[in-house]
Amino acid sequence: MHNGVWQKRGGGLLLGVGVVLLAASTVRGEELTPEELRARLDRVEKLNQELLKRLEALESGGNTGSPVILQGKEAEGTVPGLDKDAVKKIVGDYLKTEDEKKKKKEEEKKKEEAEQWYEVGKDLGMTARWNNGLHVETKDKAFRIHPTGRFQWDLVWMTAPDNVMFGRGGVGDVLDASAFRRARVGVEGTMWEVINFHFEPDFFNTLNVLTPGTTPQQATSTHPVPIDNWIEVAKLPIIGNVRMGSVKPEYSIEHLTSSRNLDFLERSLIGDAYIVGLDNGFQPGFVVYNSWCDDRIRVASSITKNNENIFGFNVGDGEWNYVLRVTGLPVYEHEGRCLVHVGGSVCHKDLDQDQYRFRSRTTLRNGPAALQTRLTDIVLFGNSMDMVLPEFAVTWGPFNMFVEYAGVWTNGVTVANNAFLPPVQNFPGRTVFYQGFNVEALYFLTGENRGYNKKMAFFDRPKVLTNFFRVKTDEGICTGWGAWQVGVRYSWTDFNDAGINGGIAQDWTLGVNWFLCPTFKIQANYVINRRDIAGLPSNGYIQGFGIRTAWDF
């Protein structure tokens, strides 16, 4: 204390002295004339300049000299009995008010910028940035280009008892394999703000054409096929967005989640049996979707042509696939770190060429599609199919769990052809009911959470907290361990109904995922698959271990 005025060296209270001088008249209840107020302001300015000089000296480690002392007229206007706590309160209130004003001003500026109209196409200058891949875009994002792609290479070791492989109705030789699971390169982006596009073929799909004197391996070759190849008109009133081209029908959260973001090497048995079929999960057609309530409610419908091939075409009258999917987020907190997803889809389809192939393959792919081991495989000849697919998911911090069920009715069935159990069955038209479900649970040991795309209502990539690195520095070896996730899954399909013995398949999978960065991961799965087809001696277990190196951009 000096002359009744408390002094403290430091940035937080330098401003406080000036505030106290100006506030003194209010505290005392004085009325100042303009001349007196101007003189006081001059004294405050003089004091502030001196205080700033001393603060700069403090921050630079210099000597500030003698303490600041208010004398004579400079001391006038101070408040008798105004102690340290009172000064701190005045300063705190003032700073809080100024901070609130600043935040309000920034919010108003952001709102003004958001509401501000701009002319699309007026500014075509583009800048590049890296966000899990290269993005080149205009300032208003009305024009955007993003080269995209994925690379997945698998090593698989599998084993099965002799009776499962070579007994009557057996699956055949169960072999180890090394194969490129996916290799895609493409581009996606936006034009004129409301037109989105995606072109991404897969270069490692396979075609098998057996000729006399050739083995299945010799007859198998890779071919590029259409995958995501569509254009979209966005932001339409009421209906929202319309997508057309080679698209995914709008059913199953597991199916709609991109293969780059799968937590196991392969999708579940129900995905293989009822969703993907022989068309890679993509069909030519249309998707219409929209969302409300900050994207927490989403409705989507797709109308696509059924096709029993991987080349994206259909020849035949009718043969449409109609799907409606509704999803909601009753809980969504902390940018998706805690969420509850509920929803489901219904489907009616006219069968392509009046048939549908129900198959369950092992949940490790030991080779190209034509060479992979099948657990069950039956073709039904009918006229149409109806399907319901409820889905439920929870993400709670590092924990994620989801469940899906599939109920499938094939109508007008007259022929059943089981690849493992001849002869072909013929009977009057009937409805056959098949079903299956999938449940999986995963946990990030390093604290991350599974990503979620609110706009599209499916899972997305995680945000890795620390990328992997191990480098030598002056202080020794420094290491970042990336993100580590463990998971378990059980899935089941039942192809037995109406006197048709198609068989039951089961899958148990244990998985470990190591994310070196958000776009590069190494996955390891240990799987146990079981097949049961009544009347066959070749029922039993198939086991395997697989490793995948996966990179995308």
**Tell me, what's the pLDDT at 123?**
87
Closest C-alpha to 461, from 509, 526, 517? 517
* Residue 141 CB coordination number (10 Å): 10
**Tell me, what's the pLDDT at 98?**
82
- Estimate to the nearest angstrom the gap between the alpha carbon of 49 and the chain centroid: 54
- Estimate to the nearest angstrom the gap between the alpha carbon of 276 and the chain centroid: 20
- Within 341-387, residue ranges assigned H as helices are none
- Report helix, strand or coil for 437: strand
**Tell me, what's the pLDDT at 83?**
60
**178, exposed or middle or buried, with CB in 10 Å at 0-12, 13-18, 19+?**
exposed
What the block records as the tokens of 518 is 């958000």
- DSSP states of 3-56 as a string? TTB----SHHHHHHHHHHHHHHHHHHT----HHHHHHHHHHHHHHHHHHHHHHH
**Tell me, what's the pLDDT at 106?**
84
Convert the pLDDT of each residue in 8-65 to its tens digit: 344 444 444 454 444 444 444 455 576 776 776 777 677 777 777 766 665 565 554 5
Domain spans of the chain? 11-115, 146-187+204-227+247-552
Closest C-alpha to 276, from 473, 66, 130, 493? 493
**CA quadruple 440, 267, 504, 365: dihedral positive or negative?**
negative
Mean pLDDT of the chain: 87
**Tell me, what's the pLDDT at 114?**
65
Low-confidence ranges of the chain (pLDDT < 50): 1-17, 19-29, 64, 68, 70, 73-74, 76-79
**Tell me, what's the pLDDT at 21?**
47
- Estimate to the nearest angstrom the gap between the alpha carbon of 62 and the chain centroid: 53
Separation of alpha carbons 364 and 154, rounded Å: 9
**CA quadruple 454, 455, 459, 461: dihedral positive or negative?**
negative
Whether a cis peptide bond, with omega within 30° of 0, leads into 226 is: no
Q: What is the CA radius of gyration of the chain?
A: 34
Convert the pLDDT of each residue in 95-131 to its tens digit: 788 888 888 888 887 777 666 677 888 889 999 999 9
Convert the pLDDT of each residue in 329-360 to its tens digit: 999 999 999 999 999 999 999 999 999 999 99
Give the CA count within 13 Å in the CB-facing half-sphere of 322: 6
Q: Which class would CATH give 146-187+204-227+247-552?
A: mainly beta
**Tell me, what's the pLDDT at 66?**
52
**Tell me, what's the pLDDT at 27?**
43
